[in-house]
Amino acid sequence: MRERYIVRQPIKNSKNQITAYELLYCGENQAYGNSDDSVNEFAVADTIYSFLMQNVDKSLKDAVHFMTFTTTLLMKKTPNLFEKDKLVIQIDDSVVIHPLALRFVQQYARDGYQIAVNEFQFAPRYLSLIDFIDYIKLNIKTTSESSVKNIVNLARSMNKKVIATEIDSKELYDQAIDLGVEALEGSYVAKQMATKAHSSGYLQSNFFRLMVAVVKEEPDMEEIENIISMDATLSYGLLRVANTAYFSTKHRVTTIRQAIMTLGIAQLKQWIYLLSSTNTDNEIDESAEEFLKLSFMRANFCSELMPYLKDMPISRQEAYLMGMFSTLNYLIDAPLEEILSTVPMPDEVKTALLQKEGRCGQLFSLVLSYEQADWSEITAYAQALSIPTHVLTNVYFNCTESVNATWQQIKEPAPKPLKAEEETEAEAEQ
């Protein structure tokens, strides 16, 4: 039985910023109508429809998503599962040449859905659709440069956007940028990080929540742990402080909870007040936020997969930190090897992050493969770790839902806590 996964792949603009995601289905040549076996297409469509019925709320809350719809999925009215402002209905030639499916597409466009066409061609069947199209997607690897230029010019003249697909090398990436496309996607695009943030900063709204939590009359240590665990720079900073000579203990502090207990609430407050005096006036930039969210997703995915893995040399908490610290070199102006040398972490975690070797390296590589929608790599690492396909996909979307919900919460404005001196005065008045 062929492995089946549903994965989100980022679509980025020329500044390497994520503007949308595409929902990709493993074995999509079967799923999206390129097979002569119509019975098989119905079966695959049913599988996709069933999965989306269970997971749509987990996958489409944080951004616009592109998804290819076959004739069968259109007839099942699958787009109605999604909010109009969160979905772009993507179609290929099998739909364009199908009279009934085409009418469905036109009606969805009238209803307010955006439409994207794969592999646009200068043919009557495509040109008759032009008024309903919002996005044109082109594989510049298989399309002549002159045709791409003509299509880009046509799109601009009619206020359509062009997305270059299957970008799997720097050469194709540079070519697409030179041709003036609005966005790009593919394995190479997915692997590219934005320009290093080098902010050494934390997410300010999250930091304010932490300050509110520590000044409560009875601080909730679990709440404090959860807040710090959402932020790679706060996690890193706390572990460094907890492992200084001042707090020297017989055992290395390797988890957020251990670090909190080592410092105690009084020292934790002092550390947070110190941070507040150095960085609260600085808004963290957009690229730093991207890395913080990415590290949070990786941390959750690594951690949530751990219960399904055997013979792992690290704990679930250490797996969480492995994912969390994987972007630190983009947030702190230093090589990752140097950063990791300043905090006590299992050698297996350091080897995984630096060389992607060992069992931990397989787990980390699996998470990266899912980010990049690399089907063969996903399958290889899933088999090496003995993770069933359905488990992997469900865990991925559960983590997506959790991260999106949490990120939405911490991005909401939080009340500013009392300053240290104000808190002291308030206590004196009591």
Query: In the 8-state DSSP scheme, what is residue 252?
Result: -
Question: In the chain, pLDDT over 90 holds for what percent of residues?
Answer: 31
What pLDDT score was predicted for residue 205? Answer: 64
Q: How would you class 138 by CB atoms within 10 Å of its CB: exposed for 0-12, middle for 13-18, buried for 19 or more?
A: buried
Strand partners, 114: 88
Read off the pLDDT of residues 315-345 as tens digits, 9 standing for 90 and up.
Answer: 998 999 999 999 888 877 778 898 888 888 8
Read off the pLDDT of residues 38-83 as tens digits, 9 standing for 90 and up.
Answer: 445 565 566 677 667 666 666 566 789 999 888 888 888 888 888 8
What pLDDT score was predicted for residue 418? Answer: 47
What pLDDT score was predicted for residue 410? Answer: 61
pLDDT tier at 29, thresholds 50, 70, 90: very low
**pTM as predicted:** 0.76
Residue owning tokens 């996909």: 393
What pLDDT score was predicted for residue 2? Answer: 54
What pLDDT score was predicted for residue 383? Answer: 93
What pLDDT score was predicted for residue 182? Answer: 94
| Residue bearing the bigger pLDDT, 134 or 26 | 134
Residue type, 105: V
Question: Lowest-confidence range among 5-9, 115-119, 148-152, 316-320?
Answer: 5-9
| Residue bearing the bigger pLDDT, 199 or 345 | 345
29 phi/psi in degrees, rounded to 5: -60, -35
164 phi/psi in degrees, rounded to 5: -85, 130
Strand partners, 11: 20
What pLDDT score was predicted for residue 194? Answer: 60
Q: Longest C-alpha distance within the chain, in Å?
A: 81
Distance between CA atoms of residues 405 and 60, nearest Å: 11
321 SS3 class = helix
Torsion 172-176-178-183 (CA) sign: negative
| Residue bearing the bigger pLDDT, 87 or 32 | 87
Read off the pLDDT of residues 270-309 as tens digits, 9 standing for 90 and up.
Answer: 787 767 655 544 455 566 677 878 888 999 999 999 999 9
The answer to whether the beta carbons of residues 377 and 369 sit under 8 Å apart is: yes
Residue 193 pLDDT more than 90?
A: no
pLDDT tier at 34, thresholds 50, 70, 90: very low
